[in-house]
Amino acid sequence: MDWEAAGRSETAALLSNVASFWAAYKAHPEAYDEMCDRHGCPRAGHSHMLAEFLATHAQKFDEIRARADRMFLNEGVTFNVYGDSAGAERIFPFDPIPRVIDADTWATLEAGLIQRVKALNAFVGDVYGEGAILKDGVVPTDLIKTSSQFRRAAFGINPPNGVHITVAGIDLVRAADAQFRVLEDNVRTPSGVSYVIKNRLVMTRLVPELIRSIGVRSVEHYPADLLASLCEIAPSGASRPTVALLTPGAYNSAFFEHVFLSQQMGIELVEGCDLVCADHKLYMKTVGGLRQVDVLYRRIDDDFLDPVVFRPDSMLGVPGLTAVLKAGGAALANGIGTGVADDKAVYAYTPAMIRYYLAEEPILPIVDTYLLRDPEMRKMVLRDIDQYVVKPTGASGGYGVVIGPRASDRELAETREHIENYPDNFIAQPVVQISVHPTIVGHRADGCAEVAPRHIDFRPFVLLGERPRVLPGGLTRVALREGSLIVNSSQGGGSKDTWVMAS
């Protein structure tokens, strides 16, 4: 037998399989495709390796997806949807085709992310401190003072190392020009990191040989990095600080993540009723009595944190917590009032912030943003409102976003009315043609996975402590509905594993 010839014909058969598989892929007419070129052919390099693997395992991929879903359900990797029937748990749909980011692109992203979060953190410290950036007129004072996320209670709290933002999740999109842009910042209680780690775990169980051969950077160090960052903001004097994670409870949409992170870090998961403040210190109620807590990683909003200072009807928080923070008896991550930095209107000033605090040029550009409080801009946007994305300034999770070209006349009329009544509460941005990625959308008659482009975004996570730490990867969310641009889990989105290449 002529082994060489047999090998050649095998290779040829393989290549023709790969080609025929991808010939069926219909490229998106406008958006940047992360894996394929304009004709729907996989790009060279890692994309090609992935495309080949996908084509040769196309019979398996639909099954892999089903197995992943089953794994998530059995393990209880679920989220709760608000407004759904009480306690309904759903899995976050998982798409097994990973998104790949090469090492050079990642290096730039990482530098840009660190730069950005450093500036946002400096901004929070400044706003609740001297207010230099406001006095210098770089950011308008009334924009801050009227922000729904501005918290007077944050004045007088001085966290160690000046860290207000311990955990940041920065949402990035890639426009048609392939350039990553910041879409929004999340510096209150960003969630999603547990899915990054779980998605990877699932992928290493399902396609171990591929992950090994392609050289993917590990994400499993995140909990250890988070714990280190939390320990670094402990009040001085605590040599082995006690850290606890504060959850609103089992019915919160991100409860799984709270459980996962506390378990991975080996810290207590507490609810408000487990905590009590006394003598300017924070304690948890244990079977053996009270035990002091040095750092509280909270996953509840400011408004519910301390009924003495914020909403008096909150049952989720700890009465007196703010006073403990001011006395330096405990540290909080993220700090109170960090939401002023991820306000959608303040976002327009983030490039100026980076220049102001760091004297550097922004590495990551933002999307053009029009503040509708400005009469000129308002006039311009209202004239062609169906050409813009309108976002409420204080919300998160994709709630209240109106995409002009997709909105009905009635929605547009309502939005116009809202803007005219409350111009401070809205911003507008041009529609970004966000990138797409091959995604499994069903299966063909022959049992192979059917693959089509779907829009994706990206949320990497940045930690601040004594030094910044960036998770090499992040949450890639995918809008599973054809043509949809909304990737939020609460609105029909799914997720993909994100592979940052080692080299």
Partner 1 sequence: MLRRIADHLFWMARYLERAEWRARLADVNYHLLVESPTSDPHPWAPLLAITGDNELFAQYYEAPSETQVLDFFTFELRNPSSILTCINAARDNARNLRHRLSSELWLEINTLYLEAQGWSHAVFDQQGVYGFFNDLRNRFHRLAGISYATLPRDIEFDVMTVGTMLERAENVSRLLDSKYHHLLPRVEDIGGTVDRMQWAAVLRSASALEAYRRVYGNHIIIDGVVEFLLFDAGFPRSCRFCIDQLQEAAARIEHEAGSQPAITAPGSPGAKLAMALRGGSTEGVLRSGLHEFLMEVQDLCADIGSMIFDKYLRFE
Contacts with partner 1, residue ranges (CB under 8 A): 73-76, 249-250, 255, 259-260, 262-263, 268-271, 273-274, 284-289
Nearest distance from C-beta of residue 284 to partner 1, angstroms: 6
Distance CA 482, CA 484 (A): 6
C-beta closer to partner 1: residue 7 or 249 = 249
459 backbone φψ class: left, alpha, beta (φ>0; ψ -120 to 50): beta
74/85 with CB nearer partner 1? 74
Do residues 190 and 222 lie in contact, with contact meaning Cβ atoms separated by under 8 Å?
no
Tokens 């089509």 belong to which residue? Answer: 452
Q: Least distance (Å) from partner 1 to the CB of residue 88?
A: 12
Query: In the bound complex, what is the minimum distance in angstroms from residue 144's beta carbon to partner 1?
Result: 38
Q: Check if the beta carbon of residue 479 is closer than 8 Å to that of residue 455.
A: yes
Distance between CA atoms of residues 417 and 225, nearest Å? 46
The Cα 455–Cα 10 span in angstroms is 35
Candidates 365, 432, 431, 427; CA nearest to 181 is 365
What is the per-residue DSSP string for 418-438? HHHH-GGGEEEEEPP---EEE
Nearer to partner 1, 102 or 274 (CB): 274
HEC secondary structure over 78-147: EEECCCCCCCCEEECCEEEEEEEECHHHHHHHHHHHHHHHHHHHHHHHHHCCCCHHHHCCCCCHHHHHCC
Q: At its nearest, how many Å lie between partner 1 and the CB of residue 234?
A: 20
| Smallest separation, CB 120 to partner 1 (Å) | 30
CA–CA dist 396, 187 (Å, integer): 11
Closer to partner 1 by CB, 72 or 458: give it.
Answer: 72
- Which is nearer to partner 1, 25 or 255 (by Cβ)? 255
Residue with Cβ nearer partner 1 (267 or 324): 267
CB of 274 to partner 1, least distance (A): 5
Q: Which is nearer to partner 1, 77 or 402 (CB)?
A: 77
Q: Which is nearer to partner 1, 267 or 333 (CB)?
A: 267
Q: How far is the CB of 73 from partner 1 (least distance, A)?
A: 7
In the complex, minimum distance from the CB of residue 216 to partner 1, in angstroms, rounded to a whole number = 23
Q: How far is CA 218 from CA 206, 215, 498, 501, in A?
A: 16, 9, 10, 10
In angstroms, the first-to-last Cα distance of the chain is 40
360: number of CA atoms within 13 Å, CB side? 14
Query: Which letter does DSSP use for residue 343 in this model?
Result: -
